[in-house]
Each structure stands twice: as C-alpha cells, then as structure tokens.
Amino acid sequence: MKPDLAHYKPVMQELSFTLAISLLVISCSPDQTTYENPAQNSSGIPRLQKDLARNYPAGVTLNGAQRKSVGMKIWQNESGGKISGLTHWNEGEEFPSLGIGHFIWYPARFNGRWTETWPEFVKFAQNKGVRGIPSPALLPDCPWNNRVVFQRDFNGKALTALRSWLVSNIDVQTEFIMAKSRAALPQIMAAAPASQRTRIEANYGKVATTPNGIYALIDYVNFKGDGTNPRERYKGQGWGLMWVLAEMRPVPRGQAAAREFAAAAKRCLDRRVQNSPPDRGEQRWTAGWHNRCNTYAAPF
C-alpha cells in the first residue's frame, strides 16, 4: 500500500503553528557538557512555559483527514507505507516495532536501553476512547518472545488482526506521536545546561521557519527520540533531537537551517554507528537513516 500524500503540503503549513507552541525550545550541549537528570534541573521551566504561552499562538486543531495525511508520511518513513510494516521485528533486535511510528514493545524479562513506547500508545488510545484494540495488544509484555516466533506467527490471526486495527487507526497513532513531542518539552529543557538554552532555542527557531523544518522536528522525535534518556547513548553520546540541535553549525534561518538540521542528524547517527557495539551491526541501517534525514532538507 502506497500512502496518498496529496494533501501533505497544506497539512505541514498548519503544523508550523502547532509545533511553535508544542516544541519551541529543545535542548542539549554542543560540547561534552554532562546531561542532567530532568528531575534535578527544573529551574526556569515554569517561566519558560509562560513565555511560550505569551509569545506564540495556540496550536491549530487538525481534522481527521489532516492527521491521517501526516501519519501517512511518518508511515512512509518507517516502513514504506506497507501494511506488513505495521508489525515488524528487525533482525538483530530483541523486540518488535509496531504501528506507523514503529513503537517499541519489549518481551517479558527484557529491559533494553530504548524507550518503550507501545504500552504508552495503547494507554493513549484507551484514554481517547478508541475501541476494538486486539486483546494481545493489551498485554503488559510482548507475547512473542523472539523474532523466530514472531515471524512464524506473522500471518496468523493475532498479528493479522493487529495490523488491521492499526491501519484503521492512523489518526490516533499520529495524535500520539505529536503528543509525545509536546510532552517531551519540559524534560528536554530540564536536561539542557542552562548556559546552552539560548543557543538551542535559536537553533530550534531557525529550523521551525519552514514546513519541512517543522516536519523534521516532529518526525525526528518519533524516529530517534528527544535525546534525554541517559540509556539511549553509546560512549556517553546520544543521537536524539537535543543532540542534533546541539550539533548544528551556525546557519541562517529558513531552508539553510533545515538543510543543516538534516546534515547534523546524519552526523549524530554516523557517530552512533561508530560508537555502537560491533555485534549489533548498525552500519546496515546507515543508508536508510540518511535517506530519511535527507527528506528534512527537501522543501515541500
């Protein structure tokens, strides 16, 4: 299935207002500054949130068709817009990735470094009153213990029903991805050294001046996280959004900033591969990751 992206450009123009309030100041350090535990560094956050409310417009409410169009783009990025990609288990990984955003779901007795998002999504859908969630999806742990079992059951009743439900609920998955971006702001700001916040705010603001820049900020949070999880690092270096914004070189706002964001993201991801354990073989993902980052630099 190939997603219909005909309405995507006007959607992103509307999102330029939505994201201005939801993700305005993202954070990190451009050097080896130690990233802090958000719970230990919350000074200034209430004042910052008041400043955002005063200086930026309220978000635009997207209708169901618009949310679906945004979701289609993310789905295209994660798995080529294929229904089969809605339930996926990468070779060499210990868990499946589900939905348009490839939300991570851990089997029992596995606790990985990556932020687990599938249980969060299911809870989000329940709170939104979404019905018909397949019963296996409601379990606290992934019922498929390894990739072999998962692949054997791929065309079975449970995974087929799960894909059917997911393809019928693109909108709520998209809402969840955007909600995750909004919810990340306080944690990201708390983790940033105070001395770096002004510079990080400027970098974010430069990227957020174009529709493709806004799309980049939304998509990258779903793609590689906000960057605040201390476990999502190799050799002390991360690759989430705050690390990318910190990596950006000085550029003017507009398309130059979108291009530099894409380049900075690729540099961060290349560094991740270089720092990763050799037995993970992460270099096999580099080409796909670069292709995704390249979409951030392309004007709509």
Encode pLDDT of 261-279 as tens digits. Answer: 999 999 999 999 999 999 9
How far is Cα 16 from Cα 274, in angstroms, rounded to an integer?
34
pLDDT exceeds 70 at position 56: no
- pLDDT-based confidence at residue 68 (cuts at 50, 70, 90): low
Dist. CA 239–CA 244, nearest whole Å: 7
- pLDDT tens column, 216-241: 888 898 899 888 888 999 999 999 99
* Residue pLDDT, tens place only, 98-148: 999 999 999 998 988 888 999 999 999 999 999 999 999 999 999 999 999
Higher pLDDT, 22 or 80: 80
What does the pLDDT read at residue 46?
Answer: 44
**Average pLDDT in the chain:** 80
Give the gyration radius of the chain's Cα atoms.
19
With beta carbons less than 8 A apart as the criterion, state whether 130 and 169 touch.
yes
Check whether 61 has a pLDDT greater than 60.
Answer: no
Tokens standing for 117? 């998002």
Top-confidence residue, 7 or 196: 196
Q: Which sign, positive or negative, has the C-alpha torsion 155, 80, 12, 181?
A: positive
- Tell me if 223 sits within 8 A of 291, measured CB to CB: no
pLDDT exceeds cutoff 50 at 42:
no
Question: What is the pLDDT, as a whole number, of residue 67?
Answer: 63
Q: List the one residue out of 271, 275, 270 whose CA is nearest residue 290.
A: 270
Q: Note the pLDDT of residue 278.
A: 95
